[in-house]
Amino acid sequence: MVVDVIDDRFVAVADGDARPLRRPKKKNAKHLEAYPYVDHRLAAGLSNGGRVTDADVREALARSPAMGAAEGREVDEESAEGRGDRG
């Protein structure tokens, strides 16, 4: 999950486990594949002034269609919101 945009070329990514929020990895953005997905639970918490924890990031990633597809799980319609295909 991208947690910060460093500049027009690099971003910081974290997964809440191997790469916690306190130690994100700097990545070249052109080496990443973007998924048009917003975790609405995480976004709502942030918009209300909440703090994001590593557990929040892990849970959001587990709900994401990208992780569901990678692990062969089916993704329900609600969590697929924001994705181009509904398949």
Q: What are phi and psi of 24, to 5 degrees?
A: -70, 160
How much is the average pLDDT of 24-50? 90
How much is the average pLDDT of 6-21? 95
pLDDT of residue 45: 83
pLDDT of residue 74: 47
Count Cβ atoms below 10 Å from residue 63 Cβ, excluding itself: 19
Note the pTM of the prediction, 2 decimals: 0.69
pLDDT of residue 68: 67
- CA 27-30-32 angle, to 5 degrees, is 65
Question: Of how many residues is the chain composed?
Answer: 87
The 8-class DSSP code of residue 30 comes to G
How much is the average pLDDT of 17-26? 96
